[in-house]
Structure 1
Amino acid sequence: MTQLPWWRWCMVLTFALATTFIQMDAQAQDDTLVVTGQSITNSLASGESAVWRLPARDGAMFSFIVEQVNGDLDPILSIEDTNGNVLISNDDYSSDTLDAAIEGFTVPRNGTYIVRISAYGDTSGDYRLTALPGYAAISLHEEFNEDRDWQLITSSEGDDAQVNLADSQLHIEVEGIQQTARVTATNLETPDHFFAQLMVNNVSGRNGWQVGMTYRQRGNNSYYIYLVDHRGYWRAAVVEDGEERVLSDWNPHPAIVAGTTSFELSIFVKDDRHEFLYDGQLIGDVRDDTLLEGGRIGFVADTVNALGSRTSILLDDLIVTVPMVNGTQAIPVQQLVVTSSGNMVRELERRNVIPAGGAQTLSLEETSARFTNAGVSRYAVASNVTFSNVVVGATIDWPFTERLNGCGLVVRDAGDEDTYVVGFIDSNGGVALSQREGDAFTETVFRDDIDLPTNSSYHILLIAIDDEVRLFVEGEYVGSIESINAEGGIGQAVINYDPGDTTCQFDNLWVWSW
């Protein structure tokens, strides 16, 4: 399908929700809930900021766009935790706009977060804040207010299932013992990589019920399926040419409260990675590459294995989002949320920094390295193991002295050939990413404009993909260089600009490779 430019989708969403905007505009802009799928228009004077509350659950995925409507406003967008710590922020998401955007924010833990919009410098004017589930561009928005050529597929012949549209809701009903009703339509095509959120307004059943979504459907007999049931369990499977294979059988999850009849179901799909969410909380994931292409999305109602069973569901809204592009280029990732290794890998995959797939190959809770001479000393981690595509993260600290020294991580290390890439932080607050070849550093990115606390611990992340190595410090993107080696070892680095005793502490060092 043809994807409209992101700004046209924002206009479509804005016009579709105009009544909601007026209501939101009438409310105070401080301490107000931000609702995904809606846009909010308001004003900022010079030096002001607006605060919106975002209750969210672990693993949820959101995107936010702040557009200048009029005036000379240059908006700054940030997301903070309840203690006021900035987790992630953005000023201009590309070089040709003043608008701000945060795409694919992955919630690190349950809580209420703060979405803050500030005016840069002495700028002022009106802005529009759009909040979306998943990514920042809408690929499909089905509100069930227009009649479609709904396709109803049942598990047996007869009049035991029906589908109809009324009051902007899709009603699916099925009766019998272990009967299935699947519904889709020709306009419900999705790409291979997307985030989808479905609102289940009500579900009822005699003897129990099962309800869910199908996706990547090709024809009528090949698709993935995600289900939840009345007991508070969930299930995932793949059907290929009519043959079902279970990917994750019925599992309980505390987020799925037994007997709840109104909820949101969401799926995130990229390559062979499938993530399942319930009311915005991540409840499970699987990896499977049976069906990798895009296809239709659909809805499922199942009855249980009991005489006289019936399941009835009302569906209210479906939104499918995809990564936003500026022209033909993806929005660059300038900042990451510093959290656990699992959450950081999830964010890197969701935000397309790394491909889906791979595994955590190493985790070290606490190590240290010491060096007394001038120069760079490397200490191998996972000796005699080489990595091509890899992410290495750690929290580092060391006692600051008047001497200039530093600590860092190494990738693509060729060992005795003395060819490697090192990313490090020095005691003056400078950060650098350098390619070493023999006795010289042949390419270096150095920055001293990142606001780092002094005499503290720092999170450092090196990402080696193909011929490129990227460095993030405290979640902020530092830069990238081209790597000479296609693979190599990984390790820790201690840097002394002059002879002296330097000991670097490395906590929670982890390695993800693919």
Structure 2
Amino acid sequence: MAGRTRWKRTAGRIAGIALVGLVLWFSPQRAASQPPRQVIYYMQPVEGELGPGAQQVVYTMSLHQNAVFSLVAWPTSGDLALELSISDPLGQMLANSPMLDSGTAVEAARAPESGTYRVTLRAAGSTSGSYRVLLLPGYAHLDRWERFSEGASPLEMTWGAVENTTAYSRVSEGVMQMDVFEGDTISYIGPEAYRPWSDMYIEADVAIVGSPSYFEYGFLLRVDRTGGRFVSVTLSSDGDWTVYIFDNGDWRAIQPWTISPAIDPADRTPHLGVLVSGNQLQVFFNRQSVGEVALPAAVEGEGGMALAVATGSGQPDPLAVQFDNLVITSPGVLPEALSPNLDYVGWLPEPSLALAPTATPASGQPYRPTANTLVAPSATAARRTPTAAPPANGTTLTTWDSGSPSSIVSDLNSQGIIPAGGEISLQVPRSFGSTSASGFSYYELGRGRTFGDFVLAFDARLDPSGPESGCGMRFRASDESSSFALVMANGTAFLGQVNDGMLSRSSFFDESAAINVGPGTTNHVLVVAVGAAMRMYVNGHLVTAGEFEVREGTVGVSVFVAEDESGNTELTYCQVENVWLWAF
């Protein structure tokens, strides 16, 4: 009865509203069939139905000024033919898309101002059926959505690794981790398969690890097959941006370093986007336009892409940057047809009728990444703490802290522990593993090379972690067997071997006074594996020695995460530095 009273009062004030009120009151089914207004977010498909009783639906979406976007809608059942229109925040028509074969789309539209835009989707004539609608950054064809899950989706690519004394890059824990160890160095990595693009839009979530004194990050675009020519688009921690052309050893500035008010230099988790259309290139920071430049004829046409990071001149500290949610779109509206890569729509998140917004860091712009961005502790090396007193019956290495592999190997040889000869076969300045998965996790080094007899040295730092979590290396690893040398946060050492899922009886797991304990402390670990004999030194002191099965295999970072009494785990970050392997 309250409803009738309300409509009567409304009718007494505005006669034209009374009829609407009565229709709604006596036709509840028709009212319920009208879809509610919903919000559309980037990269999140929404589905619905149109037909008799519900010929159109209205959505809203929030856009920044000068944002370039595409809206794609396509039928999924029935004979539905779709019409699409978009109005700007002032209610003026921005775009009106005609029906196309297989759907409809507004492609590469530019938002004239920041605000809420209205999207109207209609069923043409008497057609009906279900549909999906998708908001894409840039163009209407979804080429790639790289979440670095190592080929879990056909929208992802295969990536190799960069591994040398100045830089190290690899896919790890669902991100592309890129480390640079020296100043005035640019490091880049691209997918293994060459894929050229001409017009394209590319974007990614970026995370700066720790607090480096300076950093640069960006994309290489239109990379030729030899890598001798490309366009470099870079932003820095100074709040500026630049565009360079690299042409067979020569760098040429197209856009000199320029401060932009759109770039927040304090943002450590920015969202970077670049639109390339013909010879025009536009850069976006957190979906806000930074600037636009014209490219020279030397780089017109098509080319590949790569991710890039760089340190500054004379920079004393290392740099660690992570990339995630790499999206590439390209033109998808063909004459009288639509090509949005619908074959891969099944690899997008499940459609929803009610999506809650998630803001891009520092931007406030709705964006819903599906993979968590990993933010690890600072990659800056921790100072080594004073070594505890050695065990009374311990054997020591006087050269353990010399930093000289040849001196350490000579010391071991003079004690009759290892044979003469051999050479350095692997060096990695820094690597890491980070996970909250219980048990052992492994991050391979050395690109699949295998080793049998060797001396392996590394500095291990564990922070943060649970009290029983461990950091170290796995070695002689294969499908059938793995050996481990780890130090635990509670001062325990582990030297062991697992064969066909069974822990060797020779394995050692016990506390040692030689281990430095406490958050962020560093321990120098040395492993000797010659034949069946394996020895583990920590900070120059022999912790344990034993006889194990003779094996050969790969090496890599190993992280052990323990569960508490309730079965819960903590995020554990294991950083290893100064890794070297002397093989015999």
TM-score bracket, normalised by the shorter chain, equals 0.5 to 0.7
Verify: 1:316 aligned to 2:324, yes or no: yes
Partner of 1:240: 247
Q: Please name the residue that 2:107 is paired with.
A: 103
Q: Which residue of 2 aligns with 1:274?
A: 281
Give SS of 1:73's match.
coil
Give the corresponding residue for 1:116: 120
Cα displacement (A) at 1:191: 1.9
Q: CA deviation at 1:126?
A: 1.1
Any conservation in 2 of the 1:217–1:295 contact (CA below 8 Å)? yes
The alpha carbon displacement at 1:179 in A equals 1.8
1:101-500, aligned counterparts within 5 Å?
101-146=105-150, 148-150=158-160, 152=162, 158-187=164-193, 189-218=195-224, 219-287=226-294, 288-326=296-334
Deviation at 1:183, TM superposition (A): 1.0
Contact 2:142–2:329 under 8 Å retained in 1:
yes
Q: For 1:334-362, what per-residue CA distance to the aligned partner results, in whole angstroms no more than 9, with x for missing partners?
A: xxxxxxxxxxxxxxxxxxxxxxxxxxxxx
Partner SS state of residue 294, structure 1: coil
- Secondary structure, aligned partner of 1:206: coil
SS in 2 for 1:144: coil
- Residue 444 of structure 1 is matched in structure 2 by none
Contact 2:105 2:333 in 1 (8 A): no
Aligned residue number for residue 420 of structure 2: none
In structure 2, the CA distance between the partners of 1:322 and 1:190, relative to structure 1 (3 Å rule), is same
Say whether the 8 Å CA contact 1:29–1:50 is kept in structure 2.
yes
Question: Whole-Å Cα distance in 2 between the matches of residues 260 and 280 of structure 1?
Answer: 14
* C-alpha displacement of 1:73: 2.8
CA contact (8 A) 2:64 2:288 kept: yes
Contact 1:182 1:300 in 2 (8 A): yes
Indicate how the Cα distance of structure 1 residues 233 and 307 shifts in structure 2: closer, same or farther if over 3 A, else same: closer
Which amino acid in the other structure matches residue 319 of structure 1? V
Residue type at the aligned position of 1:152: V
Does the CA contact (< 8 Å) of 1:204 and 1:313 recur in 2? no
Partner-residue secondary structure (3-state), 1:290: helix
The two structures have a TM-score, normalised by structure 1, of 0.53
With over 3 angstroms needed to count, the CA separation of the structure-2 counterparts of 1:286 and 1:82, relative to structure 1, is closer
Q: TM-score, normalising length from structure 2?
A: 0.47
Q: What SS does the corresponding residue of 2:298 show, helix, strand or coil?
A: coil
Q: Aligned-pair distance for 1:328? A: 9.3
Letter in 2 for 1:81: D
Deviations 1:456-499 (A, max 9, x none): xxxxxxxxxxxxxxxxxxxxxxxxxxxxxxxxxxxxxxxxxxxx
User: CA shift at 1:267, angstroms?
Assistant: 1.7
C-alpha deviation, 1:211, in angstroms: 0.6
- Amino acid in the other structure paired with 2:184: Q
What is the CA-CA distance between 1:289 and the residue it aligns to? 1.8
Q: Aligned to 2:193, what secondary structure does the other structure show?
A: coil
Which ranges in structure 2 are unaligned for 5 or more consecutive residues? 1-33, 152-157, 340-584
Corresponding residue SS for 1:38: coil
Task: Tell whether the 8 Å contact from 1:213 to 1:300 is kept in structure 2 after alignment.
Answer: yes
**Counterpart code for 1:270:** S
The share of aligned pairs that are identical, in percent, is: 22
CA-CA distance at 1:278 after TM superposition: 1.8
How far apart, in 1, do the equivalents of 2:35 and 2:235 lie? 37
Aligned residues: 297
- Structure 1 window deviating more from structure 2 (217-226 vs 322-331): it is 322-331
- Alignment partner of 2:76 out of 34, 46, 69: 69
The structure where strand makes up a greater share of residues is 1
> Could you tell me whether the CA contact under 8 Å between 2:73 and 2:104 is conserved in 1?
yes
Distance 1:32 1:263 in 2: 27
- Contact kept, 8 Å, 1:149 with 1:185, in 2: the verdict is yes
Query: Which amino acid counterpart does residue 299 of structure 1 have in structure 2?
Result: L
SS in 1 for 2:112: coil
**Contact (CA 8 Å) 1:174, 1:181: kept in 2 or not?**
yes
For residues 21-48 of structure 1, the C-alpha deviation after alignment (integer angstroms, 9 at most, x for no partner) is xxxxxxx964533222232212234344
The Cα of 1:209 is off from its aligned counterpart by 0.9
**Equivalent position SS for 1:187:** coil
Task: Give a deviation string over 1:229-249, Cα, whole Å, max 9, x none.
Answer: 122211111110011011111
Aligned counterparts of 1:29 and 1:229: Cα–Cα separation in 2: 45
Alignment equivalent of 1:85, drawn from 74, 89, 92: 92
Distance 2:35 2:205 in 1: 27
Q: For 1:137, give the aligned amino acid.
A: H
- Runs of 4+ in structure 1 off by over 6 angstroms are 327-331
In the alignment, is the contact (CA less than 8 A) between 1:271 and 1:289 conserved in 2?
A: no
Larger Rg over CA atoms: 2
Deviation at 1:60, TM superposition (A): 1.4
The match for 1:39 is 45
Q: C-alpha offsets along residues 424-477 of structure 1, whole Å, 9 cap, x if unaligned? A: xxxxxxxxxxxxxxxxxxxxxxxxxxxxxxxxxxxxxxxxxxxxxxxxxxxxxx
RMSD, aligned CA: 2.6
Tell me how far apart the structure 1 counterparts of residues 62 and 91 of structure 2 sit (CA, whole Å): 15
Aligned-residue offset at 1:146: 1.1
| Contact 1:271–1:292 (CA under 8 A) maintained in structure 2 | yes
Distance 1:117 1:150 in 2: 43
Distance across 2 between alignment mates of 1:110 and 1:180? 35
- 1:307 to 1:216, Cα distance in 2 relative to 1, 3 A: closer
**Displacement after TM superposition at 1:185 (Å):** 2.0
Unaligned regions of 5+ residues in structure 1, if any? 1-27, 332-514
Residue 245 to residue 328, structure 1, CA distance change in 2 (3 Å): farther
Q: 1:127 to 1:220 in 2, by over 3 A?
A: same
Report Cα offsets for 1:299-358 as digits up to 9, x if no partner.
111112344222211111222222125489789xxxxxxxxxxxxxxxxxxxxxxxxxxx
Give, in whole Å, the separation in 1 of the partners of 2:125 and 2:209: 51
